[in-house]
Amino acid sequence: MQTRYTMAMSWLLVLACVAFTLNSGTSVTRASSSDDLRTILSMANMVTGQSGSSQLIQQMNSPVQSPSQVATPGSVDSARSNIDRYLDVASRIDPRLGQVLQRSCSDQGQDPVELEKMIRRYGHGLVALAELQKTDPTLYESKIEELSLDAEVMQLSIQLKQIVDANGADGPQAMIHRELLQAAMRTRLELSIENRERSIMRLNERVQQLQERVVYDEAHFEQELERQMAQALGDLDAVQAARGR
């Protein structure tokens, strides 16, 4: 419950900041800086329910990839492509959040490679969802839907409290909103359970892959040692270096 409350309050904080930015008569491009972008990314992390301690779980929740397959900021084109994916995820969470992040990114005056590095460093929540979009589109869509339900539940909760304060808890309007809130909560809980079950399955698959790799390395210890030595000395190309993993 505490996690849900924190996520919902963080969601409202983001929307409040977005609303202030869009309605204050000034644009993010006027006063933006690296600190502004970091702040926006931090708020986006809170919306997605991410924290620094969850990064290990995010890594375990991803399929094993060789170094040649992992998207890294190695070129301008790949960096721009990744940035576009992160902005798309932010817009899916909330269009206003995506708009503010887009403006902040445009104002950085940095090359795409450095900008992507900053987003990966401070926006790990968005990055994790973007990677999930590639590796498991079905779970990604469910996660986006769950975030939308979080916002809907919080909005209905606020509305119900306002109605109760104004007209009492037994009025017809309060009863209708209570039923709407309960229905939204029911849908959210059902979806949350499904998402967690799917995440557990992915974690188990990842653990199985790691166990198989440990068994392989133990059985082929000298061969793996020789491969790593060759890689360290630069005697292997990218494909050969990745083949051992």
Q: DSSP states of 128-176 as a string?
A: HHHHHHHH-HHHHHHHHHHHHHHHHHHHHHHHHHHHHHHH-TTSHHHHH
Average pLDDT (216-244) is: 81
Tokens standing for residue 186: 């029911």
The DSSP element (H or E) to which 105 belongs, if any, is: helix 95-106
pLDDT, one tens digit per residue, over 97-141 is 788 888 877 776 667 888 888 888 888 888 889 999 988 999 999
Q: Work out the average pLDDT over 157-167.
A: 95
Question: Tokens 């301690």 sit at which residue?
Answer: 53
pLDDT tens, position by position, 52-86: 334 433 444 444 444 334 444 457 888 888 888 98
Tell me the pTM. Answer: 0.63
Nearest-Å Rg of the Cα atoms of the chain is 22
DSSP conformation class of 232: H
C-alpha distances (whole Å) from 181 to each of 16, 151, 174, 194 are: 22, 12, 10, 20
Would you give the DSSP letter of residue 25? S
Residue type, 235: D
